[in-house]
Amino acid sequence: MNEITLSVSNVLLWCVVLVLLAMVIALARQVGVLFERVAPMGALVTDSGPALGASAPAFELTTLEAKPISIPGAAGLGTLLFFLSPTCPVCKKLLPVLKSVQQSERSWLRVVLASDGNMPEHLAFWQSAGLTSFPYVLSAELGMTYRVSRLPYAVLIDEQGKVRAKGLINSREQLESLFVAKDLGVTSVQEYLAQPHSHAHSHAHSHAE
């Protein structure tokens, strides 16, 4: 009798194990589908301001160091405009990423920090946050031209002076998505993911390693 009970228990136990295994496999498949649908999340693109693909508005500005700077830059030189504020915690979180981008893309890109407001406050922030290698401009007109209403916000201008990508930036991935959009020749990563072929191919791109 004991042997029969033990055999039945073993059979039931194996049935439970097999059911659990099937559930784990099904769950793993669903996670994979979900990941494909939501990744990667690109910058939150806005329709206001200069249109993507249009020539970037020309500005002649002065940095915190009282040095002249042109936006866009000379032909063959791209510009990443990064709008920030000394009181923006997300902006501060992304500063190490900006420093990495500045190094890895220095052959074709310059990173320009932009804001407006009180000069002494920004000067102190620029120095204390270790940002002295970045040109930093204060221009309310620049922010209004690009319709910057929330921070941090970034605009990628290509080597021909065209607005290639832009959007609200909350993470490293969203900042990198601007470069991905430029490389793929699309207005945004979201546009690329919406194309029929996007689910059949995976593209890996990192500019801030």
Q: What ranges do the domains of the chain cover?
A: 1-38, 59-199
pLDDT digit string (tens) for 134-181? 999 999 999 999 999 999 999 999 999 999 999 999 999 999 999 998
Q: At 196, is the secondary structure helix, strand, or coil?
A: helix
pLDDT digit string (tens) for 33-53? 333 333 445 556 666 789 999
The pTM score is 0.73
* CA–centroid distance for 45 within its chain: 11
Domain 59-199 has CATH 3.40.50.1000: no
Query: Considering only CA atoms, which of 192, 189, 174, 181 is closest in space to residue 158?
Result: 181
